[in-house]
Structure 1
Amino acid sequence: MLVDYHVHVVAHGEYHYREEWLNQYLDRAQQRGVQAIGLVEHDQFKERIDWRLIEALKRTDLHIAAGLEIDFVPGREESIKRMIDQHPLDFVMGSVHFINDWAFDHPDHRAGFDALDIDQVYSDYYVLIDKLVKSRLFDIIGHLDLIKIWGHRPIKKDSLQHVQPILHSIKASPMVIEINSAGLRKPVQEMYPCRQIIEKM
């Protein structure tokens, strides 16, 4: 079954929920043989989601699910719970885009890698991923090894060594790991997660 549960209709705020725009996504999904599509916005754009439009456009030959991709930030767990409870969600994706206040995957902040110890960056990132998993707030873990986006690699421990203990926690939970092809279009030119991690899942 071919599925895509990481479709941002508003992208990063550039677009809007309109019937014609939404139908373009749904039509293209069906043309490509996708049988289930997940419309998921970053939580900062949650107020722009038209839940009634999503419901109205549901099709018998394409499963359409609505979700949120929520940035996991330690200390924000209670507000995340409230956010989840306040919306008619089919699924919730958790991801890490920030280490402290550093948006490491944003092109404008890419240079931050040059000023930091790469092994510490990887360690800090996977500490956050571990906390995300243990929070049990999410159904899907988005782009598990996003920290590699610009091609920076750890020196003392490889990514698999960082993530291996976390995989045990994920396997003991009802969560699933997203396999995301967006990394193939980024400088790292590799899926999230990498093949070595996928083979250990």
Structure 2
Amino acid sequence: IMSDYHLHLHPHFPTPGAPPMGVYPPGYIDRYVEMALSRGVTELGFTEHLYRCVESAPVLGTWWEHDPDPRLSAEMERYVTLERNLSLDAYVDVVLDAKQRGLPVKLGLEVDFEPGTVDSVLDLLAGYPFDFLIGSVHWIGAWSIDRPSAAPEFARRGVRRAYEQYFELETELAASGMVDVLAHADVVKKIGIRPEGPLDDLYAPLVTATATAGIAVEVSSAGLRKPVAEIYPAPRLLRSFNTAGVPITLASDAHLADEAGWGHTAVVRAARAAGYTHHLRFSYRKRYEMPLPHPAGDGA
């Protein structure tokens, strides 16, 4: 089995060919499956963002209000207001329907981490039959670190300090043990801004926390489609995860059917270069180890 355990059914912005937010046309998931199969990927794990679901509002709260920068707070409030219009129940039903029709899909969720919300988030999700949960850090306070508009804030607070703040949150997420997999563990590099010098002092606490919590990290092709033009996580960080015994999943972070399974060959090559020989699949929060295939072709 070759898997892609990070896919979304909606892009973040209106896109030709994509349905409106919250709309799931008949056969839409089937298109993801067909594209993935054409790329040699035989199992798909869907992972919609928690923060996009209206049910998340009471548990995630209005975290942006606590940021001291009113400009960032206002931007985040506008963004979340625009994005938060999905029904978690409807999303779950759509994926479960695909499962019942025999499609090779798994029900997952991307849990967008906000400190202080772990218990309430887990209470919310406890009643759903998820196969796996992935966790991510997309914002530091009210600052969205991975959007193109993030560049001025990197300059304002300092690139190194921004990375320190990001990895502190990522490490806190890992240590919480609330998810099964860390998604794009160094997504702070997404728009191509990086500090000078090695990052081992930032990597080490994250690797230790991940290994101690007994969770996995995804190897994602998504960075190859972004300005950073590099797989998540960076080769040095991925090797450190392997040395610490942290297992992996494989991912594309697709937001459109055409992206399903994208770059899987590059992902497998990166995993093997870091020393991995196996990857994980999940069923009802239980994990199973599978051998990595030997890559062939370009996988795009």
Alignment of 1:165-176 (within 5 A): 165-176=205-216
User: How far 1:197 sits from its partner (Å)?
Assistant: 1.2
Q: Which residue identity does 1:40 align to in structure 2?
A: T
Whole-angstrom distance in 2 between the partners of 1:62 and 1:110: 41
Assess if the C-alpha contact under 8 Å between 1:72 and 1:95 holds in 2: yes
Alignment-derived partner of residue 144 in structure 2 = 103
Segments of structure 1 that go 5 or more residues without pairing to the other structure are none
User: How far 1:173 sits from its partner (Å)?
Assistant: 2.4
Alignment of 1:7-26 (within 5 A): 7-12=7-12, 14=14, 15=19, 16-26=23-33
Q: Which residue identity does 1:55 align to in structure 2?
A: L
Alignment-derived partner of residue 52 in structure 2 = 45
Assess if the C-alpha contact under 8 Å between 2:185 and 2:217 holds in 1: yes
Q: Is 2:3 the counterpart of 1:3?
A: yes
Segments of structure 2 that go 5 or more residues without pairing to the other structure are 54-86, 242-300
Alignment-derived partner of residue 225 in structure 2 = 185
Alignment-derived partner of residue 171 in structure 2 = 130
- Structure 1's 82 and 160: CA in aligned 2 closer, same or farther, altered over 3 A? same
Q: Which residue identity does 1:52 align to in structure 2?
A: D
Q: Is 2:75 the counterpart of 1:35?
A: no
Q: Which residue identity does 1:53 align to in structure 2?
A: V
Alignment of 1:36-115 (within 5 A): 36-46=43-53, 47=87, 49-58=90-99, 63-115=104-156
Once the two structures are superposed, residues 55-93 of structure 1 have per-residue CA deviations (whole angstroms, 9 ceiling, x without a partner) of: 232279853111111111111112211222133211111
Alignment-derived partner of residue 203 in structure 2 = 163
Whole-angstrom distance in 1 between the partners of 2:9 and 2:101: 21
CA RMSD for the aligned pairs?
2.0
Alignment-derived partner of residue 196 in structure 1 = 236
Identity of aligned residues (%): 31
**Equivalent pairs, count:** 200
User: How far 1:11 sits from its partner (Å)?
Assistant: 2.4
Name the TM-score, length of structure 1 as normaliser.
0.90
User: How far 1:154 sits from its partner (Å)?
Assistant: 2.0
- Structure 1's 60 and 198: CA in aligned 2 closer, same or farther, altered over 3 A? farther
Name the TM-score, length of structure 2 as normaliser.
0.62
Assess if the C-alpha contact under 8 Å between 1:10 and 1:17 holds in 2: no
Assess if the C-alpha contact under 8 Å between 1:144 and 1:177 holds in 2: yes
